[in-house]
Amino acid sequence: MKEFDFIKQITPSFYKQSSVVKGIGDDGAVIKPPNGHELVVVADAMVEGVHFSLDYMSFHDVGHRVLAANVSDLCAMGSTPLYYIVTISVPTQYTKEDISQLYNGMQGLAKSFNMDLIGGDTTSSDQLMISITAFGSVLSNQKRLRSQAELGDLVFVTGYLGESGYGLHLLEKKEPDSYFINRHKRPVPRYHFIQASSRIDRLSLNDISDGISTELNEIAEASSVDITINYSQLPVHTDMATLQEDWLRELVLSAGEDFELVGTCSKEAWVQLEDACHQFNIPITSIGQVRMQAGERPTVKLREEERDIVLDREGYEHS
């Protein structure tokens, strides 16, 4: 792959965001953050063999998925996506056409969110790695932090849990394409949740990359509260409800990569949030409550048949 030709090929002919002063083509990009907004910056990388396998994913799928993971983090901060920077490390066996497909995957998703590619870096490597840094803007009083959960809040989650993990299992078994496989290959970040929730004063929010057990523990820790969720309230797609019980439990609590949003809000705000999400066609379910912190460290509990068990971070961890 000739680096220079390739950069020319991916350079946009114009930028959708008027705040891009200088995009691709100099030593750095120059951006002028939208007036009255704060800039949110996120980074997420994906590595072949760790986050995806090219045995069953196309380059287009991989591009879509890595940008989706970054946009999901922007949404989890309450911000509107603006721009992204891509760093790729490419093994020599991959062609210019392969990498063009990867960029097509990113650009397809970027188009639906009006995001601009404003720079990046390219290196050779033994393993395909794509690292994205993405930027979003948020009004200062609309940031959605993990530390904003309060005593008495309801806990909510968007969409259905465990679908991506189930899709990965079907892919590994070489099953034909299906709804669940598509949920794994082409996750769609909850972009409209940001608009749907814009009138709510305070939300704590996290996106589900590692699994809801991990994400809820992060909210509990950041907010110094205990959280209890009810297993029977966790939203599960009807076609997964028949899976073997222990496996389903694992998929729902810890498989991760659903890129749904989990968070908390006051009971008064919940009525408004539920209504707004329905108007935007976003499935949302109340799954538990925020309680006073009782022990030495913030704890998440799972209530099942009137019994509470401590729910540790069971989600994915890089060793």
Ligand X SMILES: Cc1ncc(C[n+]2csc(CCOP(=O)(O)OP(=O)(O)O)c2C)c(N)n1
Ligand Y SMILES: Nc1ncnc2c1ncn2[C@@H]1O[C@H](COP(=O)(O)OP(=O)(O)O)[C@@H](O)[C@H]1O
Feature table: binding site = 27, 44, 51, 73, 103, 120-121, 146, 207, 209-210, 257, 316
Stretch that binds Mg ion, among 37-45, 84-92, 99-107, 254-262 (CB under 5 A): 37-45
The yes or no reply on residue 210 touching ligand X (CB under 6 A) is yes
- Which member of 9, 53, 123, 195 binds ligand X (CB under 6 A)? 53
User: How far is it, in rounded angstroms, from Cα 251 to Cα 263?
Assistant: 19
CB of 218 to ligand Y, least distance (A): 8
The yes or no reply on residue 42 touching ligand X (CB under 6 A) is no
- Which member of 17, 20, 44, 118 binds ligand X (CB under 6 A)? 44
Stretch that binds ligand X, among 45-53, 154-162, 264-272, 291-299 (CB under 6 A): 45-53
Tokens 């404003």, residue located: 118
116, interface contact from ligand Y, ligand X, Mg ion, none, CB < 5-8 Å by kind: none
Closer to ligand X at the Cβ: 7 or 222?
Answer: 222
The yes or no reply on residue 257 touching ligand X (CB under 6 A) is yes
The yes or no reply on residue 258 touching ligand Y (CB under 6 A) is no
80 and 136 Cβ atoms separated by less than 8 Å: yes
153 and 216 Cβ atoms separated by less than 8 Å: no
The yes or no reply on residue 69 touching ligand X (CB under 6 A) is yes
User: How far is it, in rounded angstroms, from Cα 68 to Cα 76?
Assistant: 12
According to CB under 6 A, which residues from 150 to 179 bind ligand X?
168
Q: Site residues (CB under 6 A) for ligand Y?
A: 43-44, 73, 209-210
